[in-house]
Structure 1
Amino acid sequence: MDISQALQQRRSVRAFLPQAPSAVLVHEILESAACAASGGNLQPWRVIALTGDSLAQVLQAASESNPQEYAHSMSYPANLWEPYRSRRFANGEALYRTLDIPREDKAARLQQLAKNAQFFGAPVGIFVCIDERMGDPQWMDVGLYLQSLMLQATANGLATCAQGFWRKYTETLREPLALPQPYTIACGVALGYEDTTAPINTLVSGRAPFEEWATMRGF
C-alpha cells in the first residue's frame, strides 16, 4: 500500500475485533511513526501503548473517576462558528444514523459516547503525551506523529480512532500510566483490527471541496 492509498483508506473506526495485533507489529508502527517531521528535532511526544491486563487496569481507573474538563482538554472551541459548527453537526448526525439512534434518544447517544472510555473495544489503547511546557509548534509535531502512526497502522491492515476524549483524564490516569509531571495526555488512539460487520464502521466522513479551503497562485 502506498501513501496515497493509506490516506484514502484511513478513517475513524469505532468497533474492533478482540484479536490483538502482535507486540512486534505495534512496536514497528510506533517506532516508524517517529520519522514524522519535528521542529528542531525535539520529538516532543511520549507514547504509552497498553493491552491485556495493563489496559484493563487503566480503563477501570477511568471508569471509577469523574474527570473535570478544563480549557486544555476541550476538543472544540466554545460556541463553534461556521463552517466548522455545521461540519461537526453533520458528522455527528451521520454517525448516529449508522446506529439508528434518533436525535431525541439522548440515553442511547450517551451510551454510545461512553464507549470512548473503553477505546471502543479496541484491544490496544495508546496514549500520546506531551510535556505541558511545550508550545503550539510542538503540539503540531505531536499531530504529525499521530498522523504518521495512523497511516502506518492503515498500511499494516489495522484500524484506528484518535480520541481527544482522553485529555481530561490526565490526572486520573497519571499514576496507573506512570506518567511523570509535567506530561499531559495529548490524544488517545484506539488500535486493532476493524469489525467490518459493525454498522458504525460504515461511516465515511466526507471532506470539504478543495476550493473551500485552498488557494493557489502563480501556477
Structure 2
Amino acid sequence: MIPATPQVTTVVTDSDSVDAAIASRFSCRAFHREQEVPRSTIEEILAVASRAPSGTNIQPWNVYVLQGASRDALVAKTCEAHDAVYRDPELAARYRSDLDYYPTKWSSPFIERRRENGWGLYGLLGIARGEKDKMHGQHQRNYQFFDAPVGLMFTIDKVLGRGSLMDCAMFMQNVMVAARARGLHTCPQAAWLEYAAVVLPHIGAGDNEMLVAGMSLGYADVGATVNRFHTPREAVGNFTRWL
C-alpha cells in the first residue's frame, strides 16, 4: 500500500483556533511601528501561505517585503505623489494601474455597502462630509502602511489570466490567516494600485509584472480608535442557494 501524505492524514483537532484566526482577521488601520516583526516569522507566514491553490500549480504570486529604509522611502515617495494629486487631480493620469480593482459604474447592493463602509469609518474618526483635507489625510494613512513596520507588495505576470488574480488572492488570504495565528494583524490594501507607477520601480519589479495589492503587517495598536471599526457580513442565507 502506498503511504498517505501528511495532507491526507493530518487531523485538525482545534477547529476553534482555525475559525478564530479567520474570524478575527480585519483591516487593521493602526499598528505599533516600533514593534518589529522578525524576518523568520515573515518567512514562516509566507511558507505556510504558499500552500494556497493555483490553477495547474503555476503559483503566480511574487512577494516584495519592505522594512526599514526601503519601506520608509516608498512611504515618502507615495505620500508626495498623493499630495500632488490632491492639489492637481489631473496628475492622477500619471499613476494609472493595469488592474481595474473597482467597477467603472457602481450598482446595488454594492454601492450601498461601499458607502456604509466609508461613512462608518469616517464617522468613527469624526470626519464629516465635506471635510476633504481630513479625508485626504486618512486616505494617506494607506501609504504610510498605517505605521506597520512591514509592507508587502504582491504582483503577478501581466501575461497571466484573471484566474491568476484569484490564485494570488487565495495566497494573500493565507498570509492574513497565518499572521493571525502568530498574533499579528494585517490590512490588505488596493489603495496602492493608484500609485503602481511609484511602487513597481521602487521594489524592482520587472516590466512584465502587475501590482495586485499591498498589505500592512505588524502588531495592532489595540487602543487606537480606528481599530474599533469592524465591517458587518451578510448572513449565509443571503448569499447561498441550496440546490
Task: State the TM-score, normalizing by the size of structure 1.
Answer: 0.93
Matched residue SS, 1:186: strand
- Residues 134-169 of structure 1: per-residue CA shift (max 9 Å, x gap): 111111000000100000011111110000111232
State the Cα distance separating 1:216 from its structure 2 match: 1.1
**Highest Rg: 1 or 2?**
2
Q: Give the drift of 1:98.
A: 1.6
Is this contact kept in 2: 1:131–1:182, CA < 8 A? yes
Say if 2:38 is the partner of 1:12: no
Look up the equivalent residue of 2:173 and give its one-letter code.
Q
**1:118 matched to 2:134:** no
Q: Which residue of 2 aligns with 1:58?
A: 74
Query: Displacement of 1:67 after TM fit?
Result: 5.1
Instruction: Tell me: CA distance 1:55–1:113, structure 2 relative to 1, closer, same or farther (3 Å).
Output: same
Runs of 4 or more off by more than 6 Å in structure 1? none
What is the rounded CA distance, in whole Å, between the counterparts of 2:237 and 2:181 in structure 1? 29
Task: Determine helix, strand or coil for the equivalent of 1:2.
Answer: helix
Correspondence list, 1:68-147, <5 A: 68=93, 70=96, 72-147=98-173
Cα deviations by residue, 1:169-219 (Å, 9 ceiling, x for unpaired): 2322333211112001100000000001110100110001212211112xx
Match of 2:47 among 31, 35, 57: 31
Instruction: Kindly state the Cα deviation for residue 111 of structure 1 after the two structures are TM-superposed.
Output: 1.0
Amino acid at match of 2:162: D
Deviation at 1:73, TM superposition (A): 3.7
Counterpart-to-counterpart distance in 2, 1:11 and 1:83? 21
Change (3 A) 1:166 1:202: same
Q: Pairwise CA RMSD of aligned residues?
A: 1.6
Q: SS of 2:98's equivalent?
A: helix
Structure 2 Cα separation of the partners of residues 126 and 143 of structure 1: 13
Tell me what 1:2 maps to.
17
Which amino acid in the other structure matches residue 139 of structure 1? L
Equivalent pairs counted in the alignment come to 217
Residues 2 and 14 of structure 1, relative CA distance in 2, 3 Å threshold: same
Unpaired segments ≥5 residues, structure 2? 1-15, 82-90
- The Cα of 1:7 is off from its aligned counterpart by 1.2
Distance 1:63 1:199 in 2: 23
List runs of 5+ in structure 1 lacking aligned partners. none
Mean Cα deviation higher: 38-47 or 172-181: 172-181
